[in-house]
Amino acid sequence: MKKGILEIRDLRKHYRLRRTRLLKKPGSIKALNGVSLSISKGESFGLVGESGCGKSTAAYTIVGLLKPTEGRILFKGNDVTSLNRDQKREFRKKVQLIFQDTSGSLNPKGTVEWILREPLRAMGMQKKEIKELILESMNLVGLDKDLLGRFPHELSGGQKQRVGIMNALILNPEVVIADEPISSLDVSIQAQILNLMNDLQERLSLTYLFISHDLNVVHYFCDRIAVMYLGEIVELSESEELYRSPLHPYTQSLLSAIPGETGHKLERIILEGDAPSPLNPPTGCFFHPRCFRRMAICSSVKPQMTEVTKDHFVSCHLY
Ligand SMILES: Nc1ncnc2c1ncn2[C@@H]1O[C@H](COP(=O)(O)OP(=O)(O)O)[C@@H](O)[C@H]1O
Ligand code: SF4
Ligand SMILES: [Mg+2]
């Protein structure tokens, strides 16, 4: 694997559940089951999968909001868990998160200016410097400075997400992890936010980990795509290649649901049942209970990730 600016190695996150009246035995939700990725500087890397597959858990674990159960996160080759205090502070600045739900992530009691100012002040920045930085950032994300005195509930969805983006960018990060940044927005403004993120990537030389449940959006936005199912990566490839020749039956089903010209000529595939619970994942290939191509081996033996064609990896017994 080529060395990336951000490398995730065999990341696992299990949420422990305590015993309750309903849950007789304490259990654990296996939200991430050994995720490995290497994101190169300057690329847009897409992580796609249906709701509940572990995308947000991955995002929060990578930025340090959650503690991994196992695995390693390397930023520029350094293991994030073994950084000293100064290095940790630097990492927090350099790797930032854009939240899916800006309404929940912006303090409702503060004005836009207060929300942006407080973290900078806590870092010891001077008043004048903060003011300049905020004005420059407002300009960068296309917000009028008159909005500085407004409260989050006085902003539109698109304006709130621009504040969320500004919040992530104000300390000049290198990597931005965007957790479904457009899925809570009206369709009419989704494209504006995507264009803004594209534009900012170029101007600020950003590296993106772009998370979405929508394969069409990641195809449009990303250079490479990893497809996730029940806490595992099942396929990883360059974006155009994945769109043209999806290998994993799960990826094929996702793509077959996209109307219009996709290039793969798949008939619409309707999967049986819902995704199984990560509290009790299936044996063998996690996808086998829903797979339309399953074989005898699939329910007992876990497939390994293999490189089928150059830079196109899949985890499935068919290959
Ligand atoms: N704090 C938590 N405690 C227990 N289970 C959680 C918690 N957060 C998420 N989960 C579970 O972990 C799995 C992955 O969730 P999440 O990472 O939010 O997925 P996604 O972002 O892809 O929708 C889901 O089954 C979810 O219910
Ligand atoms: S390993 Fe088997 S069950 Fe899993 S995706 Fe491949 S064919 Fe389907
Ligand atoms: Mg999520």
Mean pLDDT for the stretch of residues 109-122: 91
Note whether residue 301 is domain-resident. no
Under the banding of pLDDT at 50, 70 and 90, the label for residue 2 is low
| 276 pocket-lining for ligand 1 (C-beta < 6 Å) | no
**Phi, psi (5° rounding) for residue 187?**
-55, -35
The reply to whether 281 falls in a domain is: no
15 lines ligand 1 (CB under 6 A): yes
Residue 181 lies in a domain: yes
Give the residue among 205, 204, 180, 203 at the shortest CA–CA distance from 193.
180
Using a pLDDT cut of 90, give the percent of the chain over it.
76
pLDDT in tens, 188-215: 899 999 999 999 999 999 999 999 999 9
Quick one: average pLDDT of 174-187?
93
- For residue 276, pLDDT over 80 is answered with yes
Q: Model pTM? A: 0.93
User: What is the 3-state secondary structure of 198-258?
Assistant: HHHHHHHCCEEEEEECCHHHHHHHCCEEEEEECCEEEEEEEHHHHHHCCCCHHHHHHHHCC
29: part of which helix (H) or strand (E)?
strand 27-39
Q: Does 86 map to a domain?
A: yes
Least confident window among 17-26, 158-167, 287-296: 17-26
Angle of helix 157-169 relative to helix 127-140, nearest 10 degrees, comes to 130
Among residues of the chain, what percentage have pLDDT more than 70?
Answer: 97
Distance 49 CA to ligand 1 centre (A): 13
Q: Say if residue 166's pLDDT is above 90.
A: yes
pLDDT at 95 over 60: yes
What's the rounded mean pLDDT across residues 244-255? 95
Q: Which residues, including other chains, have CB under 8 Å from residue 293's CB and lie 6 or more apart?
A: 249, 318
**Using CA atoms, how far apart are residues 258 and 154, in angstroms rounded to an integer?**
35
What phi and psi values does residue 44 have, to the nearest 5 degrees? Answer: -105, 115
* Inside any domain, residue 249: no
| Closest atom, ligand 2, to C-alpha of 295 | 2
Domain region containing 205: 6-235
Residue located nearest, by CA, to atom 8 of ligand 2: 294
Give the model's pLDDT for residue 232.
Answer: 97
**Two tokens at 296?**
């005898």
Predicted local distance difference test score (pLDDT) of residue 122: 86
Query: By alpha-carbon position, which residue is closest to atom 6 of ligand 2?
Result: 316
Domain count, the chain: 1
Task: Quote the mean pLDDT of the chain.
Answer: 92
Q: How confident is the model at residue 244 (pLDDT cuts 50, 70, 90)?
A: very high
State the distance from the centre of ligand 1 to the C-alpha of 82, rounded, in angstroms: 26
Tell me whether residue 127 is in a domain.
yes
Q: Which ligand lies nearest the alpha carbon of 183?
A: 3
Q: How far is the CA of 125 from the centre of ligand 3 (A)?
A: 33
The model's confidence at residue 236, banded by pLDDT at 50, 70 and 90, is very high
Q: What is the DSSP string of 42-67?
A: T-EEEEE--TTSSHHHHHHHHHTSS-
Using pLDDT thresholds of 50, 70 and 90, give the confidence band for residue 74. very high
**Does the beta carbon of 289 sit less than 6 angstroms from any atom of ligand 2?**
no
Asked, for residue 77, whether it belongs to a domain, the answer is yes
CATH code (residue 202) = 3.40.50.300
Please report the pLDDT score of residue 182 as a whole number: 92
283: in domain: no
